[in-house]
Amino acid sequence: MLMDSSGLAESLELLKQNNLYRSRRVIDSVRGVNVLVDGRELINFCSNDYLGLASHPDVVASFRRAANQYGVGSGSAHLVCGHGREHHALEDELAEFTGRDRALLFSTGYMANLGVITALMGKGDVIYQDRLNHASLLDGGLMSGARFKRYLHKDMHNLQQKMHIQSPGQKAMIVTDGVFSMDGDYAPLQALSALAQRQAAYLMVDDAHGFGVLGATGAGLVEQCQLNQQQVPVLVGTLGKAFGTSGAFVAGSDVLIESIIQKARSYIYTTALPPAIAAATRTSLLYVKQDNWRRDKLKKLVQRFQAGVRQIGLSLMPSESAIQPIMLGGSQQAVQASDYLFQQGFWVSAIRPPTVPQGSARLRITFSALHNEQQVDQLLSALEYLPV
């Protein structure tokens, strides 16, 4: 039976009518936070390159040297012949950096979350997830076959109520983002850790947007909350954000990592990250650890922006991170606001359902250590006349 293409066309048209249609813009070149799109130079305020390391000359040079040695691709899965010296060294360095026994690389953050959850949890187990967790965490929970329960955002009382009716001896896992990607707020990790220990449950934290940015050395929200391997036994971080490269990792005990190697289908059955990316990330890690000024500058830029938005009177969501969402409500308003800013020379994404709940469409503004105060002020001037 042939697929009904008219039905697909109708679905696409409905998305357009509801201002939910997604489209791609083609980037022609990147120079720090300046990008060339459709022949226009824009200041990029929607990238996750929080520390500005994606185009750092030493990071780029490390990639080139490793590509000359290993080639561009890895050629195979890690368990076949794709696990190179650069991969192994990066895993060791990430384990030391996060204070864990071992770390394991994945090709993407999505694959890391799918792989970890499905390797550790299965039929008869129960998983508790924050309602605003990233889609990859939710999908991993659903794919695992475990009972899947979502608790109200950061609501410890609601989570405790759900856990109190858990069957005695049932294996359980609490899963949360560290920094929530669309709201920019922090998970209550200390309270979650204490509850997980009382209930003898795993705690899995995906610190994608905190890793590199938060903590005394940049080791993320878990470091900022001073939680060790026993208190947060499953730690996931991504490398395509503050580290400026690509891929992801999970860090934890030796037995945890070995179990994931043996059981995670998204690790076993996919091509390994290019060794050149691992080499570039090792250089990024050096700058994350030594360049405290990047985190300090990022914090100052965010504070400057917050003060300016309050003066304008826009509805800024409560966030201390580099993610600063402006709530607009309707999808049409968000799209119009994003298009307006594009015409003014700023690239800011409109975030709409189903990425965020119905009625909470927003502009998701993100900052980089490569932004300067003048660019922040220019954005504030444009936001003052936002058509909302």
Catalytic residues: 181, 209, 241
For the chain, first and last CA: distance in Å? Answer: 47
Q: In the β-sheet with 323-329, what is the strand arrangement from edge to edge?
A: 323-329, 361-366, 349-351
Position 26: which residue type? V
Position 202: which residue type? Y
The residue written with tokens 């071992």 in the block is 102
For 65, the token pair is 């040297």
Q: Which of 178, 128, 185 is nearest to 152 (CA)?
A: 128
For 137, the token pair is 């965490």
Q: Which residues neighbour 210 within 8 Å (Cβ) at sequence distance 6 or greater?
A: 178, 179, 186, 220, 221, 222, 224, 321
Q: 36 - beta bridge partners?
A: 29, 41
Residues in the annotated binding site for pyridoxal 5'-phosphate: 109-110, 181, 209, 238
Q: Which of 122, 95, 111 is nearest to 254 (CA)?
A: 95
Q: Which residues neighbour 8 within 8 Å (Cβ) at sequence distance 6 or greater?
A: none
Residues in the annotated binding site for substrate: 22, 134, 355
- Quickly list H helices, 25-103: 57-70, 85-98
Q: Distance of CA 281 to CAs 92, 99, 222, 246, Å?
A: 12, 18, 20, 8
Please tell me what DSSP assigns to residue 33: T
Q: Is 319 helix (H, G, I), strand (E, B) or coil?
A: coil
CA atoms within 13 A on the CB side of 86: 23
Q: Distance of CA 314 to CAs 17, 289, 361, Å?
A: 27, 35, 14
The residue written with tokens 């720090």 in the block is 32
The residue written with tokens 């030391």 in the block is 96
Please state, in angstroms and rounded to a whole number, the distance separating the CA atoms of residues 89 and 108: 18
